[in-house]
A = this chain, B = another copy of it.
Amino acid sequence: MPNPTAAMLVIGDEILSGRTRDANMYHLAGELTHIGINLREVRVISDDADAIVTALNDLRARYDSVVTSGGIGPTHDDITADCIAAAFGVGITVRDDARALLQAHYDRSGKEFNEARQRMARIPDGATLIDNPVSVAPGFTLENVHVMAGVPSVFQAMVASVLPTLTGGAPLLSQTLRIQRGEGDIAGPLGALAQEYSDLQMGSYPFQENGVYGANVVIRGTDPAQVHAAIAKLSDLFPA
């Protein structure tokens, strides 16, 4: 059975302008791989309603699940929740359970639960909330779309609470062989090996360190015996 697939939609001008270096993609990629979900595509788009709706509808139709990050705070550029509702064609209102969470939080901290903050309780109809143990304002899940905050500490907490609800696949095992030969010397034998083991994925990642050329060859697959056999054969071809 093929592994479940996923895509990620990163929403935020700050990534595209080069102001901020994205950290969430790297985190999510590792977490999904760990539970056997195949992250197939990531898109980074700006805080633009049309772009968000179009990309979301494209991705949610093509992959088993979609994770979004960014745009669910209280400011005018936080338009993700409205865009998700528009993409699904459902309504969006302030929801009692989300408002109660936020009200209690601001009561505790002595801050005013003003109109801007109440926007964070606006949740598309039919969604379930994603817990936010860091800063309370919830994310939400609607069908196969999981909407999370962009602040890395909050994003990571939301990923941790959603992952157990996803159906994973056979864990993708990975072994790496470091070969101190130019990639052009590795390419021929590696290509033949990739044909022989067509169920496995083989990637070659060149490096240059202190004048030494080489490549890390990564072999991935769900069958441990196959991965091991392929790495052993490669190791025989390129003894250290």
Contacts and interface: CB of A to CB of B under 8 A. Distances in A.
Chain B CB within 10 Å, residue with most, of A40, A120, A153, A187: A187
Chain B CB within 10 Å, residue with most, of A18, A30, A153, A220: A18
A51 interface: yes
Contact of A29 (B18, B114, B119): B18
Interface of A is mostly: mixed
A18 B41 contact: no
A77 interface: yes
Contacts of A195: 76
Given A17-B172, A20-B205, A186 B75 contact: yes
Q: How many copies does the complex hold?
A: 2
A205 B135 CA distance: 14
A47 B220 CA distance: 14
A206 B155 CA distance: 13
Contact of A206 (B73, B115, B215): B73
A14 interface: yes
Interface of A: 12-22, 25-33, 39-47, 51, 73-77, 106, 111-112, 114-117, 119-120, 135, 151, 153, 172, 174, 182-188, 190-191, 194-195, 201-206, 208, 215, 218, 220
